[in-house]
Chains A and B, each alone.
Chain A
Amino acid sequence: MVESSRTASRSRAVIGESQHLLFSVAPGALWIFVFLVLPSLYLMAVAFMTNGPYGLPQMPLTLDSFEQLAGFGFLGWSPGNLYTLLRSLWQTLIATVLVVMVAYPIAYYITTCRVKWRAIMLLLVVVPSWTNQVIRTFGWMNLLAPGTPLSDLAQWLGVIPPNMGLYPSNFAVTLGLVYNFLPFMVLPLYAAFEKLDTAQVQAAQDLYASPMRTFWHAVFPQTLPGLLAGTVLVAIPAFGMYVIPELLGGGKGMMLGNLVANQFAGGSNWPLGAAGAILMLIATFIGLFAMRRIGKRLGGGEEVVI
């Protein structure tokens, strides 16, 4: 009957599958490409340009900004930027470890409570992070300022000199980071604890393992994927943190994020800021890659969300 039109009319849909893909995905993909991929590429290009009179990038292409980032200036080499990088790494490490130490027992405790309380407890942990980061940090400024009970206590203990506050300081930054990222660690750990195979724990106890050994061999490995996911969610944004060190850290508490941002906010040196951003990206992707590798090796790769 319609033998001739057989091949031509094979696809009877209003639009073909490929066109459908284009129509549904293209607006968003294009949006992200134009407003994020292109700007990021532009930023990378800026890092290789010369610093102009008002901090704006100019031709010709150079590697000056990377030399400046490494600390070479008019007055020879200075360790300032290197310290900032090391401080960022150190703060990230310390904050992540502290967050794990607080979140691990909390996540476990929530799973031991009655089911109907668990949702409320999780909500209680998460709600503070719904408020704006600036406001949360401002709260800590209020708490740690000179003349507050906490500062008085620290003075009495002799930790800080008289008439000083607990902020600005590196300690305040660490505290702010731990406060900020605690929920991001509790949630994945809670998910891991909730799925915990209690049969393994009972089997270990049954085989006369001590509580310590039971924990180490039956419990800890099962929570490792959650721990890893939490570490990704905490360490990577902590490394690029800007608000907390800016408000709580002062000049001596500066992190890489501040170094980068100040080149733009003050409008002083875009290429230097862009070079700093590249350094931050490299560190971020090394971190992500490492976590993925560890996650895959543990066999729980899908647990690591990113």
Chain B
Amino acid sequence: MKKRTLQRGLSGFWWLTLVFLYLPLAVVVFFSFNAANSAARFTGFSLRWYERLLGNEQIISAFWNSMVLAIVSSVLALVIGCLIGYGMYRHRHRKLGWLIVLIYLPIVLPDIVFGISEMAFFVSIHRYTGLLQPGLLTMIISHVTFQIPFVALIVYSRLVGLDPTLFEAAKDLYATPFKRAWHFLLPTIKPALISAFFLSFTLSIDDFVISFFTSGPESATLPIYIWGAIKKGVTPEINAIAALMIGAVAIAALMSLLFNRQGQR
């Protein structure tokens, strides 16, 4: 009897928490269809903010900046991180404490310290050498820096989970070092590489603080644009971009759910 009430209470609490988690997002989506220029009163359904979006060149360019940043940095981080992950695996019997510290540093450093360090560094380098002007390039460099550890750790944990004699079997079956990498290692860790890429991509799209401090005037990403718009005064257009980004996340969530389902079968 008592257990029943506990379970019911928990169930109620669960639904309340879900409301708490999704209410802010729902409000953004809801008001993106508002005819009036207000975030408090809904006056009627309208798509006019979405129409305005398409005409706003700043937003379009911010979107492309976000995409270029996320894709280029993820690819670079994938290559570099994969190499580290493999190196950590191959030499796991050595003492690599310094490498572990180096890899965890980007993860434990508070975003804000990370961002301002990069900013101070890039600005000073630019002042004295003319190189590394704050912009898309410096953003890509910073994003790769925080993506590398995640890729390395994912690849490493996949390799550790493999039967070590597989590596020997490949050698035994006449595969040269290059063929071993191409025909054995890469196909075997492919799932890890795919999930590492998606994680890197998500981390890049999600990031605001580090992008904000390393960006230049021409390289605003969507979150930076939204931030600027909020600071200037809220416009319903922001509801529309934000709603689109929430929609993208919802689609990603559904896809991961389907992916999971298939994996279980």
Contact = CB atoms under 8 A, between A and B. Distances in A.
Contact of B102 (A29, A124, A135, A240): A29
6 contacts: A31-B148, A32-B103, A35-B118, A40-B117, A102-B17, A134-B223
A164 interface: no
Interface string B37-79: 0011100000000000000000000000000000000000000
Nearest to B18: A124
A39 B126 CA distance: 13
Contacts of B17: 102, 106, 125, 182
B157 interface: no
Nearest to B148: A28
Contact of B113 (A23, A29, A280): A280
B148 to A, nearest CB: 5
Indicate the size class of the contact surface on chain B.
35 or more
A28 B100 CA distance: 12
Contact of B230 (A25, A31, A141, A274): A141
**Chain A binding surface, main DSSP class:** helix
A154 B167 CA distance: 65
B230 A134 contact: yes
A132 B209 contact: no
A284 B21 CA distance: 27
Interface of B: 2, 7, 10-11, 13-14, 17-18, 20-25, 27-28, 31, 39-41, 80-81, 83-84, 86-88, 90-91, 94, 99, 102-122, 124, 141-142, 144-145, 148-149, 152, 177, 202, 205-206, 208-209, 212-213, 222-223, 226-227, 230, 234, 238-239, 242, 245-246, 249-250, 252-253, 256-257, 260
A131 B145 contact: no
Main DSSP-derived SS at the B contact region: helix
Contacts of B260: 119
Nearest to A260: B112
A86 interface: no
A83 interface: no
Which A-B residue pairs are the 6 nearest by beta carbons?
A139-B24, A240-B110, A24-B87, A39-B121, A25-B87, A28-B84
Interface stretch (A1-9, A13-21, A69-77): A13-21
Interface of A: 14, 17, 20-21, 23-25, 27-29, 31-33, 35-40, 42-43, 46, 102, 105-106, 108-109, 112, 119-121, 123-125, 127-128, 130-136, 138-143, 145-148, 179, 182, 211, 236-237, 239-243, 247, 257, 260-261, 264-265, 270, 273-274, 277, 280-281, 284, 288, 306
Nearest to B39: A142
Contacts of A143: 23-24, 27
A135 B227 CA distance: 9
B167 to A, nearest CB: 13
B68 to A, nearest CB: 17
Given A130-B252, A130-B253, A306-B104, A280 B114 contact: no
A141 B242 CA distance: 13
Which residue among A125, A147, A277 has the maximum number of chain B CB atoms within 10 Å of its CB? A277
B149 to A, nearest CB: 8
B129 to A, nearest CB: 14
B250 A127 contact: yes
B87 A32 contact: no
A123 to B, nearest CB: 6
Contacts of B10: 105, 108-109, 112
B26 to A, nearest CB: 8
A265 B228 CA distance: 12
Given A24-B83, A306-B104, A39 B148 contact: no
B116 A273 contact: yes
A236 B108 contact: yes
A284 B149 CA distance: 19
A103 B118 CA distance: 34
